C-alpha cells in the first residue's frame, strides 16, 4: 500500500481533514503570507509590500484565517495610530519546510507543466 494511501485514506478520516487543511493553506495567497512571515514579525503594510499583487482585502482575509487556524498571531499595540504586528506561531513555523518543498517542486516542474498544458490545449481546442 502506498504511503499516500496509508496516510491520507487509512490513517485519516477518508481525507476530510486533509481536504479541509489543504483548502485553507493551498489557496492563492496563504503560502506566500507564511513565507513572508518566516522568521519575522511584520506590520500589515510591510507584509502587503512583501507580497506583490495581494489586495488589502485578501491580505486581511488571509491573516484572519491563519490566525483562526493557529498559524499566525496578531498583536495589537495600544498606540496612536494603532500598530498591529503579525508573526508565525510555533505550528505555523512547521509549515515552512513542506511549503518550501512544494514551492521548489512547482518552480522546477512549471515549464514541463506549461508544455503539457499547451499540448493538451492544441489537441482539445475550445
Question: What is d(CA 81, CA 104) in angstroms, rounded to the nearest whole number?
Answer: 40
For the whole model, what pTM was predicted? 0.81
The whole-number pLDDT of residue 12 equals 58
Per-residue pLDDT tens digits for 82-95: 899 999 999 999 99
Better-predicted residue by pLDDT, 122 or 8: 122
The whole-number pLDDT of residue 17 equals 76
Better-predicted residue by pLDDT, 11 or 6: 6
CB 31 within 8 A of CB 75: no
Confidence band for 3, pLDDT divided at 50, 70 and 90? confident
Residue 8, pLDDT above cutoff 70: no
Residue 9, pLDDT above cutoff 90: no
Question: What is d(CA 16, CA 57) in angstroms, rounded to the nearest whole number?
Answer: 28
Helices of type H across the chain: 3-4, 16-25, 30-37, 44-50, 56-68, 90-93, 96-123
The whole-number pLDDT of residue 10 equals 59
Domain boundaries of the chain, sorted by first residue:
28-123
Residue 40 has which C-alpha cell?
519575522
CB 35 within 8 A of CB 47: no
Is the domain spanning 28-123 CATH 1.10.260.40? The answer is: no
Per-residue pLDDT tens digits for 18-69: 778 888 888 889 999 999 999 999 999 999 999 999 999 999 999 999 999 9
Tracing cell 496516510 back to the chain, one arrives at: 7
The whole-number pLDDT of residue 38 equals 95
Amino acid at each position: 500500500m502506498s504511503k499516500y494511501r496509508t496516510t491520507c485514506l487509512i490513517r485519516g478520516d477518508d481525507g476530510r481533514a486533509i481536504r479541509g487543511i489543504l483548502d485553507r493553506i493551498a489557496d492563492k495567497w496563504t503560502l506566500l503570507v507564511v513565507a513572508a512571515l518566516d522568521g519575522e514579525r511584520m506590520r500589515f503594510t510591510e507584509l502587503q509590500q512583501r507580497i506583490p499583487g495581494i489586495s488589502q482585502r485578501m491580505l486581511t482575509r488571509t491573516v484572519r484565517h491563519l490566525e483562526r487556524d493557529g498559524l499566525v498571531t496578531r498583536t495589537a499595540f495600544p498606540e496612536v495610530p494603532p500598530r498591529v504586528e503579525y508573526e508565525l506561531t510555533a505550528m505555523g513555523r512547521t509549515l515552512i519546510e513542506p511549503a518550501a518543498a512544494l514551492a521548489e517542486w512547482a518552480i522546477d516542474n512549471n515549464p514541463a507543466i506549461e508544455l503539457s498544458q499547451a499540448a493538451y490545449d492544441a489537441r482539445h481546442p475550445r
